[in-house]
Chains A and B, each alone.
Chain A
Amino acid sequence: AQTVTQSQPEMSVQEAETVTLSCTYDTSENNYYLFWYKQPPSRQMILVIRQEAYKQQNATENRFSVNFQKAAKSFSLKISDSQLGDTAMYFCAFMKHVNSGGSNYKLTFGKGTLLTVNP
């Protein structure tokens, strides 16, 4: 079974600064996907960024980027130029590759990191 660990329950950052959220995972799979989801107070889970394990290049989406270290099983999220709207709970999630029509298609989540951006 896969496990996802987020070691920082809470973090805070000043507006316009950069912050990095940590995530480690444990799996015996070689082909999988990693995600960061954001859950603001509205509770809607919003995809921030995704990474395919077979890609060495780190994913980037505007101010959000990841540092994917496959051998270390580490997947951290860097938020640059933090904005007040970034205040939310951030979840790291793992999904093993499942062939089309296959079962076991699910996300395994970490416990989350509550990020507060201060003005």
Chain B
Amino acid sequence: KAGVTQTPRYLIKTRGQQVTLSCSPISGHRSVSWYQQTPGQGLQFLFEYFSETQRNKGNFPGRFSGRQFSNSRSEMNVSTLELGDSALYLCASSLEAGTGNTIYFGEGSWLTVV
């Protein structure tokens, strides 16, 4: 069974540009969540999607957005990039909320903003 797949793995963008990251969850998983990992702030929750609906959003500015498609694949978008957006962006999937279903992570997308 394939794991959580994230693309691209590495990318470099310029300040002011926008970026889209993609995530394919484990087959059968309908909940997809995104986390940002930086040396200073650690791992922070961005948002969670289930059945194409955003159910929860972390404390990030509106420049960070996402969506989920009918096949559960998800994308996140960051507009007007800032240097501080440089981070590892981790996508995670699980069956769904309830009973503490295990959340599985992808290998992440490394974003560098210059």
Q: Decide whether A and B are members of one complex.
A: yes
Give the residues in chain A near B42, CB-CB below 8 Å: 109-112
B35, B43, B45, B100: the one contacting A97 at CB < 8 Å is: B100
With A104-B56, A106-B56, A111-B42: A99-B108 Cβ-Cβ less than 8 Å: no
Contact (Cβ within 8 A) A105 B31: yes
**A56: Cβ under 8 A from any B Cβ:** no
Q: List 14 A-B contacts (CB under 8 A).
A: A42-B107, A47-B104, A50-B100, A50-B102, A97-B100, A98-B97, A100-B97, A100-B99, A102-B98, A105-B48, A105-B97, A107-B43, A107-B45, A111-B42
With A91-B43, A97-B100, A104-B56: A44-B48 Cβ-Cβ less than 8 Å: no
With A43-B88, A47-B102, A106-B33: A101-B97 Cβ-Cβ less than 8 Å: yes
Q: How big is the A interface, by class?
A: 20 to 34
Give the residues in chain A near B107, CB-CB below 8 Å: 42-44
Q: How big is the B interface, by class?
A: 20 to 34
Give the residues in chain A near B43, CB-CB below 8 Å: 91, 107, 109
Closest chain A residue, CB of each to CB of B53:
A103
**B63: Cβ under 8 A from any A Cβ:** no
With A109-B42, A112-B42: A103-B98 Cβ-Cβ less than 8 Å: no
Q: How far is the CA of A108 from the CA of B33 in the complex (A)?
A: 12
**A15: Cβ under 8 A from any B Cβ:** no
Inter-chain CB contacts under 8 Å: number: 73
With A105-B48, A106-B45, A108-B45: A99-B103 Cβ-Cβ less than 8 Å: no
Interface residues of B in 32-61 (CB under 8 A from A): 33, 35, 42-43, 45, 48, 50, 55-56, 58
Q: How far is the CA of A97 from the CA of B100 in the complex (A)?
A: 6
Give the residues in chain A near B23, CB-CB below 8 Å: none
Q: Which of B92, B105, B108 has the most CB of A within 10 A?
A: B105
Contact (Cβ within 8 A) B104 A102: no
Q: How far is the CA of A105 from the CA of B98 in the complex (A)?
A: 8
